Amino acid sequence: MKRRNFLQLLAATGMSAQLPVFSNRAHAATIPDRYLVVVNAGGGWDPTSICDPKGLNRAYADNSDRFEGSTNSVDLDSNKRFGQIQWSAIPEGVSNDDDVRLRIESQFDQFFQSYGNRLTVINGIDNGTNNHDTGNRVTWSGHEENGYPSISALYAAAISPSLPMAFISNGGYDFTDSLVARARANSAGFINEISDPNFWFTDSNTQFRRGLHYRSEDNQVDIYNMIQQAQNNRIQRQQNNEPLPKRREQLGQLFTVRGEDNNLGALKTHIDDIQANVSRDANWNPNRANSLKSQAEVVAAAFKANVAASANLSVGGFDTHGNHDASAYPRLGDLMEGVHFLNQALTHAGIADRTTIVIGSDFGRTPYYNSGNGKDHWPITSVMVLHPTTVNTGGRVFGASTTDFRAQSINPQTGLAEASGDMLGPQHVNQALRELMGIQNNPLMADYPLAANPFNIFG
């Protein structure tokens, strides 16, 4: 990892690896004062099943005989509101098990009641596509053409591109256009192994496993330390034997980079701390949303360790062409539980006041059920933004879809429906996110223009 970090620093200054000369500016990566997490619901979620419900509207009786052509199979519940935000009730068709339905209802209720004050829900976004690849790209970059980096990659590139793991991605749209390295790190076990690959340990079958130059658990055998000592002695001889003062200074800078504390070691320490103090099973249900929770542990620890600026969390299963209610609602409940766990991990790490979480998907789903009780692709969608703990939105909704779940023109300042207003698209959302994260004037943005008239999404 140290070597890779060093090569990144050389690349940042345009230097050859043969030249041990680099600037102090490159030597110290900029530590971000804000962090960005994108949570991707892969496959195309149904906003009407979560944050833009329509209830038993009977709007599509000519298209479907399911639930009398209604968009949802459960009516609106006036108790499921926080500020301007209305969320979905849980249909009986989700499960024959009362406990399952109660668990999902609790996930929904706890999420919006706990985080409503920090939420901006953006409804009625017209993605202009129902193709997965295009939808994924346009949601997270604001542009349908190839070549535009995701908002999370763009943020890392603009703020702290030379951090060791500046942009962590666990899937979703994570194109970087070579602006920043993309790091894959989705579990604490993976981080633990690469942070100290030479550490001795045994598996459940008590078979010895060890690195090429291993150290034993009791430190009685430490071949790796002997190698490190030999390397340090060689470095010192090289520096002592260099007659030119400037060259000695440059070698000293090079050796400082190579001898820095292992960033991944610090990351492992913070992961261990989060795992010891933020229980997966206590937030909120045992053995639920484990994939998202595992990703969240690594991301929160990476931010705390100052090795990353942004991240993608991703979970699939939202392409519900059949049995929509039984498939979508449990996944949506787990999605919200995973975001809650992420927030708890960030809070424990002391950085929830500096982290913005954006939740979205490829596109939406049809406003009626097909013959298999599923829902097909639909271009209208929503995005939810969970702001840092310092922000109070009062449960704000910006944008609107019609009662039959079609895009609605809105006033660009208020976000309210207005016949003479403009249609809201993903380019407007991404432009607003750039402004929210403070990168709209970064020189990189000139290469990725969105040509979006301003919408006052975040007030």
Tally of CA atoms within 13 A in the half-sphere of 118 that contains its CB = 19
pLDDT at 26: 37
pLDDT at 195: 62
CA 7 and chain centroid, separation: 26
Which of the listed ranges 24-38, 248-262, 287-301 does the model predict with the highest average pLDDT?
A: 287-301
d(CA 296, CA 280): 10
* Mean pLDDT value of segment 249-271: 67
Whole-number Cα distances in Å, 13 to 8, 18, 193: 9, 13, 31
**Nearest CA-CA partner of 120 in 318, 379, 392, 324:** 392
What are the residues whose beta carbons fall under 8 Å from the beta carbon of 76, sequence distance 6 or more? Answer: 53, 54, 55, 86, 89
pLDDT at 449: 97
How much is the mean pLDDT over the chain?
Answer: 88
**Nearest CA-CA partner of 307 in 350, 264, 344, 356:** 264
pLDDT at 9: 43
DSSP label at residue 393: -
* Mean pLDDT value of segment 42-50: 98
pLDDT at 261: 46
**Nearest CA-CA partner of 293 in 351, 353, 334:** 334
Q: Which pLDDT band holds residue 242 (cuts at 50, 70, 90)?
A: confident
pLDDT at 29: 62
Which of the listed ranges 195-209, 254-268, 326-340 does the model predict with the highest average pLDDT?
A: 326-340
Question: Could you tell me if 387 and 397 are in contact, meaning their C-beta atoms sit under 8 angstroms apart?
Answer: no
Supply φ then ψ for residue 255, to 5 degrees.
Answer: -70, -30
**Nearest CA-CA partner of 456 in 415, 406, 396:** 415
Question: Could you tell me if 448 and 44 are in contact, meaning their C-beta atoms sit under 8 angstroms apart?
Answer: no
55: tokens are 């209830």
* Mean pLDDT value of segment 137-157: 97
Pairing of strands 182-183, 167-169: parallel
**Nearest CA-CA partner of 330 in 25, 78, 108:** 108
The pTM for the full model equals 0.84
Pairing of strands 119-126, 380-386: antiparallel
Between helix 188-195 and helix 263-277 the angle, nearest 10°, is 150
* Mean pLDDT value of segment 229-254: 77
pLDDT at 193: 64
**Residue 21 confidence (pLDDT) above 60:** no
120: tokens are 């901006």
**Residue 59 confidence (pLDDT) above 80:** yes
CA 143 and chain centroid, separation: 19
Between helix 263-277 and helix 290-304 the angle, nearest 10°, is 130
**From the CA atom positions of the chain, what is the Rg in Å?**
25
Strand partners, 385: 120, 358
Pairing of strands 310-315, 167-169: parallel
**Nearest CA-CA partner of 128 in 426, 366, 391, 337:** 426
SS (H, E, C) 201-253: EECCCCCEECCCCCECCCCCCEHHHHHHHHHHHHHHHHHHCCCCHHHHHHHHH
**Residue 71 confidence (pLDDT) above 50:** yes
Which DSSP string corresponds to 392-409?
A: --SSEEE--B-TTS-B--
| Residue pLDDT, tens place only, 189-236 | 666 666 665 555 545 555 555 555 555 556 666 766 777 788 778 878
Determine how many CB atoms are found less than 10 A away from the CB of residue 246: 9
Place of tokens 């991707």: 40
Question: Could you tell me if 341 and 313 are in contact, meaning their C-beta atoms sit under 8 angstroms apart?
Answer: no
pLDDT at 187: 73
* Mean pLDDT value of segment 355-379: 98
| Residue pLDDT, tens place only, 403-421 | 999 999 999 999 999 999 9
**Residue 254 confidence (pLDDT) above 70:** no
First to last CA, the chain: 42
**Residue 5 confidence (pLDDT) above 50:** no
| Residue pLDDT, tens place only, 157-171 | 999 998 989 999 999
